[in-house]
Chains A and B, each alone.
Chain A
Amino acid sequence: MASLFEKIWSHHVVAAIDDATALIAIDRVFLHERTGSVALKSLAEAGRPVVDPGRVFATMDHIVSTRPGRGDATEMPGGTAFITETRDAARAAGINLFDVTDRDQGIVHVVSPELGIVLPGLTLVCPDSHTCTQGAMGALAWGIGSTEAEHALATGTLRVTKPKTMRVTVEGRLAPGVTAKDLALHLIARFGAAGGVDHAVEYAGEAVRALPMEARLTLCNMATEFGAFTGLIAPDAVTFDYLKGRRHAPAGAVWDAAVAQWQGLVSDNGSMFHVEHAISANEVVPMVSWGTSVQQSVAVDGRVPDDAATRSLEYMGLEAGQAVAGLPVTGAFIGSCTNSRLSDLERAAAIVRGRRVADGVRALVVPGSQAVKRAAEAAGLDRVFVEAGFEWRESGCSLCFYAGGESFGPRERVISSTNRNFESRQGPGTRTHIASPETVAASAIAGKIADARDYARG
């Protein structure tokens, strides 16, 4: 009897280092221009080659401009150097590169599933904390630092302290209008931003199995905000249907052999976990964060807690006991590796269609990849957003964080489909409330934090 995590882990153990640490084979390394450039540069300076460049990928997402007609110029002072140095280093190392103007460019955690680079049972690392997103494919995927990335590039392995295991079982079905993002915020609000520290978290249960692939990616994306080593979901027919035919996925007889093996990637009945949580899906409602930690989240029709931390209240310009719905917003952002996939944009567009963004609100949609952008435009979603008053951008991480160029303003209240509400995350002094894309869309229309269920049609 072994859990999903145990199966993937034990397959990849090359050698035991000590009681707690093993040398783990790494199947895929993904880099981006913000931290990957440092790893490639440092590796090259040490005279160390990339051991298997065919299994290493890089994209330009973090500081690339998302303005229409963009090139290497960025909003961030000095940002162009990150792009040009990553490009030069990637070419010199012979790795796969999705460059600024490539049709495959996009956010690493959107592009990798989309192209079938991440597959069930693989180990995948990237110097980005949201690498746990890709655990939704039934892979062991986690974020690392630049020095660890160098190690993975040079050796095809990492020295990893084995995490403990946690299973979160969600019984029943999420109600209509309640999303994977709401489930993630519910979990973190309930168990704390440190609730998953040192654990690999498997999401299971009827509600998780019922989630489409893109929603599963959203759920696992937030595992890092739970403090977890990673999140993962057992692969099933939903996973296989999503992956079949994707460019880097196997084909033909190899596909059949792969699926046969992937079907065994489930936690056996009777598997033991260090921690088990069970929650009922009907407890989960649309959520929004009020504070500066993701755990400071409440139901969209709820109130700031009476015992709220003073520092968070001061930063956010709120008072204990205040209702969250109705807080006026001047910024609305739909994008990021959490919520920038086609289904996210479709659900937001369904709310926006035929309506107008409220006066005084700056609203943006930033597709997660060029493929998402093309698909959205083919479906006419770009026109829906633009006619409503949203900006329609090129793909990238964009205003999920502030890198020194473009930002929302100080003390500006922003509703955002991103994953972090930290102090100054979206600009110095900016007040970020995180929520689902539909909540962001409804709030942009209302000019204040709003319940998307009031804007749903039929």
Chain B
Amino acid sequence: MPVAEPLVRLTAVAAPLLRDNIDTDIIIPSREMKTVGKTGLADGLFAGWRYQAPGSREPDPDFVLNQPAYRHARVLLTGANVGCGSSREHAAWALAEWGFRAVVAPSFNPIFLGNVVRNGIAPVKLPMEVVATLAGTVTLDLEAMTLTGPDGAVHRFALDAEARAMLLEGLDAIDLTLKLRPAIEAWREADRGQRPWVYG
């Protein structure tokens, strides 16, 4: 069962939001998480920065995603430690619903990194001096593990084989894991003998 459209190769506009420590409250404020579900969140994406005032829907023309060149961006460029703060997966859901398929940053908060992979968004780790050159049209190739910048420079990046496979195939990890059920049950059986208090 695919959870997201497979992501193999993408040529798209990359929008620069080059600040460090962009937290998930900024990506989607808590007040914008209005329903018990994973959809309807793109409207609240970056609400605190994207709109003129809290609660308003009047675009702030200075915010990068409101600028004509970046309105259809599908790659987001940020500073270090992107996605820090709350574990809310709504941040990844909002980015995915907007249409983002990649976030490029020098480092990622680990919970956020897991969340974007599980929602079809590639986390691309590149040094800040490279990220700073990428605003414009870029090409992401997950088979070759390269990102080609607007200047034609090709940057290689690393990604766990697991994360890469999930993105390439749009896989549901639960189905994959359930194939390992015999190993899981064997582990539990052995553990029950060693740590009976875990099972109360």
Residues of A at the B interface (CB closer than 8 Å) are 11, 14-15, 17-21, 23, 25, 27, 34-35, 37-38, 41-42, 46, 48, 54-55, 76-78, 81-82, 85, 119, 121-122, 127-129, 131, 142-148, 150-151, 154-157, 159, 161, 163, 193-194, 197-198, 224-225, 227, 229, 248-250, 254-255, 257-258, 261, 293, 295, 311, 401-404, 410, 420, 422-425, 428-429
Contact = CB atoms under 8 A, between A and B. Distances in A.
Interface stretch (B68-76, B111-119, B134-142, B143-151): B111-119
B36 A144 contact: no
A148 B162 CA distance: 14
Contact of A197 (B3, B54, B108, B184): B108
20 contacts: A17-B161, A17-B162, A20-B162, A147-B115, A150-B174, A151-B174, A157-B177, A161-B160, A163-B110, A193-B20, A194-B81, A194-B107, A197-B110, A250-B196, A258-B195, A403-B30, A403-B33, A404-B31, A422-B26, A424-B54
A422 B23 contact: yes
Contacts of B195: 121, 258, 261
B57 interface: no
Given A17-B162, A127-B87, A197 B114 contact: no
A155 B177 contact: yes
A423 B25 contact: yes
A213 B153 CA distance: 53
Interface residue tally on B, bucketed by range: 35 or more
Contact of B184 (A21, A25, A143): A25
Contacts of A38: 36-38, 89
B36 A81 contact: yes
A160 to B, nearest CB: 9
Contact of B21 (A224, A293, A404): A293
Contacts, number: 197
Interface of B: 3, 19-21, 23, 25-26, 29-31, 33-38, 48, 53-55, 80-81, 84-89, 92, 107-111, 114-115, 118-119, 160-163, 173-174, 177-178, 180-181, 183-184, 187-188, 191, 195-200
Contacts of A78: 34-35
Contacts of B20: 193-194, 293
A174 to B, nearest CB: 26
A145 B107 contact: no
A38 to B, nearest CB: 6
B161 A18 contact: yes
A343 to B, nearest CB: 26
Contacts of A159: 162, 173, 177
Contacts of B198: 27, 55, 119, 122
A420 B85 contact: yes
A154 B178 contact: yes
> Which of A21, A147, A156 gathers the greatest number of chain B CB atoms within 10 Å?
A147
